Amino acid sequence: MIMESGIATFEMIAELQRLAERAFVFRLKEMHPDLTPEQIEMEIRKWLKVRPGAELGDGVGRVGDLSRFEL
């Protein structure tokens, strides 16, 4: 029962993330209709790093070395 609740919560969070990304892309395309798919992908990556709540990695507790996630 607890495991199912955790899975449902994770699925809801993942769906909200997908929705936020789609909304960001929609707004980005409205503002910059000339962007290529590659440029859009680059903008998504930038947004994921600086959107509200992401500055410290979307987690609670001590801040780790975020450079380990650089591509």
Q: What is the pTM of this model?
A: 0.66
Note whether 29 and 35 are within 8 A (CB).
yes
pLDDT of residue 36: 96
Closest CA to 37 of 25, 22, 53, 51: 25
| Per-residue pLDDT reduced to its tens digit, 16-36 | 989 999 999 999 999 999 999
Residue 17: the pLDDT is: 87
Enter the tokens of residue 8: 């449902």
